[in-house]
């Protein structure tokens, strides 16, 4: 830090980005490296896991959901 630097304490928040794309989801098998295609339809991801179980006997999965987020200072109005 050099002389003359101004520090400002501010509270920030994080939440869904109003300009976000729809959340995406995929299911990954925890017993092998296979995973469902990434998409916006959770039912399709679940169906992939059920079919994978029927085909392989694998029963443990990890659901991966991706949501766009945005941070902003609490004193700043949301853009929408």
For residue 58, state whether it binds Zn ion (rule: CB under 5 A): yes
Among 32, 47, 65, 69, binds Zn ion (CB under 5 A): 32
Residue nearest to Zn ion (CB): 29
Q: Which of 18, 21, 23, 31 binds Zn ion (CB under 5 A)?
A: 31
3-state helix/strand/coil string of the chain: CCCCCCCCCCCEEEEECCCCCCCEEEEEECCCCCECCCECCHHHHHHHHHHHHHHHCCCCEEEEEECCEEEEECCCCCCC
Q: Is residue 47 within the footprint of Zn ion (CB under 5 A)?
A: no
Q: Which residues bind Zn ion (CB under 5 A)?
A: 29, 31-32, 34, 56, 58
């Amino acid at each position: 830090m050099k002389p003359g630097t101004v520090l400002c304490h501010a509270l920030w928040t994080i939440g869904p980005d109003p300009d976000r794309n729809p959340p995406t989801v995929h299911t990954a098998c925890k017993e092998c490296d296979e995973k469902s295609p990434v998409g916006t339809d959770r039912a399709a991801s679940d169906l992939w896991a059920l079919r994978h179980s029927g085909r392989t006997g694998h029963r443990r999965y990890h659901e991966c959901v991706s949501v766009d987020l945005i941070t902003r200072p609490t004193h700043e109005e949301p853009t929408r």
